[in-house]
Structure 1
Amino acid sequence: MLVVQHEAEVGLGRFAKPLQDARVVVTIVGPGTSTPIPNSVAGFDGLIVLGGFPGAQDDAAAPWLAHVCKLISQAVADEIPYLGVCLGAQLLALVAGGAVGPARKEPEVGLGQLTLDDACVTDPLLKDMRQKARAVQWHYDEVVTLPEGSRSLISSQHCENQAFRVGASAWGLQFHAEANSKSVKEWAYKDSLNVARLGLSLRALVDQVAIADAELDSTWVPLMDRWILVVADVE
């Protein structure tokens, strides 16, 4: 499985253990690692693109994004299972013909509530989820227009498209299902100026996720277990 990591602080988090437990061979590439991004997804049975602080259309500041979009386009065209998280979800939307822009209501930072659409009942990745769930949020942009033929699967009070599916086997998650309290601590201090502008407390952000870590494990580790099954079914 190929994983694109944009920044050192934005890794697999709670997704790492289920992948390890399932003995999935994971190749992590990208600016957040010492391994360059390959030219193709050929030879990989799944693609995960993680989040990061670059904007989805900030090609000048993050010139590797065009290369990542090429990989996503290949995965979608060849029906290689794809999972995009935050920035990875926004890149999926752009590649498939949607649009990304500033958050229409307000940015979401910290632990937030999600609502699952009824369509999740039959979705291979989300079918065993509760109708209400919590997850870590950390985004200032969002998918404002979904790609044609896709639909929103999860929403929140401030963001309509928290999760969506493109085609048979490509999913975008605006929220950070992988993020744990260690992740949030690193992000909070790196993004401290924006956190302060939102009137939020760094310590409160970290503490609320630390308290909820066990709950978040029980919610989102099974999602990665289901993702592994999706990849296995396609092989």
Structure 2
Amino acid sequence: MSVLVVQHEDECPPALLGDWLVEAGVALDVRRPYADEALPSDLADHEGLVVLGGAMNANQDGTHPWLAPTKDLIRAAARDDVPTLGVCLGHQLAAVALGGEVGRCPRGRQIGVYDVGWTDAAATDPLFAGLASPRRAIQWNEDLVLTPPPGATLLAATALDEVQALRFGPAMWGIQWHPEATLEILTSWAASEPGPAADAGLDAVRGAAVELELAWRELGKAFAARLA
């Protein structure tokens, strides 16, 4: 099984998520369009799609020209029911590609370890039904899905109803959090934007890193199962 992985920055690799997918028997075709690696025109050679995070905004197609073809791939995956997982920016790109709205988080940035906020729908979701036990996850963002696209199902939200996870269709999911991020990756993110918020967020992750890696490892297996 081969999964196309769209990576947007050197600092945002598939990392742990990639490791878990490989352990589950999935071959990763990682494309870095920001480094002039071409994206395929379709998903004919892949059984799945993973779109990773990045510092750019989901609407910045003009300054990051690969975002538009990434959205085209997302729309093709939605049309053909190709299993797809969007992480942070990838989640937001899916929302925009399918008719939703993304913008700044009304309460400001989310950095650190936050409650997931599962909804009742997650308990019967094809991907997350067996994963509803992880109650916390790493957040590092300033944008959120403000308006989900038509037909999307809310799977997780904050106490103030801010979207944290969606099922966009029968085989497409998006999550606002970062199950893939290692402490090394997060340290590089904190170094690029030094300040109290980043320092506090990094400290929170240090205290929960082992718990979070163990909690989210099953996500790789669950997504691999959807490919099969």
Counterpart amino acid of 1:188?
A
Q: Which residue number corresponds to residue 9 of structure 2?
A: 7
Counterpart amino acid of 1:111?
V
Q: Secondary structure at the match of 2:86?
A: strand
Q: Which residue number corresponds to residue 224 of structure 2?
A: 228
Q: Report if the CA contact (8 A) 2:117-2:158 is conserved.
A: yes
**Distance in 1 between residues matched to 2:80 and 2:223, nearest whole Å:** 17
Is there any run of 5+ residues in structure 2 with no aligned partner, and where? none
Counterpart amino acid of 2:142?
Y
Q: Secondary structure at the match of 2:27?
A: coil
The 5 Å alignment of 1:51-66 reads 51-66=53-68
The 5 Å alignment of 1:1-235 reads 1-31=3-33, 35-130=37-132, 133-157=135-159, 160-192=162-194, 196=195, 199-202=196-199, 204-232=200-228
**Distance in 2 between residues matched to 1:206 and 1:158, nearest whole Å:** 24
**Distance in 1 between residues matched to 2:34 and 2:161, nearest whole Å:** 27
| TM-score, length-scaled by structure 2 | 0.93
Q: Report if the CA contact (8 A) 2:134-2:216 is conserved.
A: no
**Distance in 2 between residues matched to 1:158 and 1:94, nearest whole Å:** 22
Query: Using a 3 Å threshold, how does the CA distance of structure 1 residues 4 and 201 change in structure 2: closer, same or farther?
Result: closer
Counterpart amino acid of 1:184?
L
Q: CA deviation at 1:124?
A: 1.4
Q: Report if the CA contact (8 A) 2:134-2:215 is conserved.
A: no
Q: How many residues align?
A: 226
Q: Secondary structure at the match of 2:131?
A: coil
Report percent identity of matched pairs.
36
RMSD of Structure 2 on Structure 1 (CA): 1.7
Q: Report if the CA contact (8 A) 1:180-1:210 is conserved.
A: no
Counterpart amino acid of 2:112?
G
Counterpart amino acid of 2:217?
V
**Distance in 2 between residues matched to 1:13 and 1:55, nearest whole Å:** 21
Is there any run of 5+ residues in structure 1 with no aligned partner, and where? none
Q: Tell me the alpha carbon deviations over residues 26-78 of structure 1, each in whole angstroms, 9 at most, x when there is no partner.
A: 10002365632222211100000000001000112211100111111111111
**Distance in 1 between residues matched to 2:97 and 2:112, nearest whole Å:** 27
Q: Tell me the alpha carbon deviations over residues 159-212 of structure 1, each in whole angstroms, 9 at most, x when there is no partner.
A: 6210000110000101112112112111111233xxx2xx4252x433321221
**Distance in 1 between residues matched to 2:46 and 2:210, nearest whole Å:** 31
**Distance in 1 between residues matched to 2:91 and 2:212, nearest whole Å:** 20
Query: Using a 3 Å threshold, how does the CA distance of structure 1 residues 63 and 74 change in structure 2: closer, same or farther?
Result: same
**Distance in 2 between residues matched to 1:124 and 1:28, nearest whole Å:** 25
Query: Using a 3 Å threshold, how does the CA distance of structure 1 residues 129 and 24 change in structure 2: closer, same or farther?
Result: closer
**Distance in 2 between residues matched to 1:231 and 1:182, nearest whole Å:** 29
Q: CA deviation at 1:142?
A: 0.7
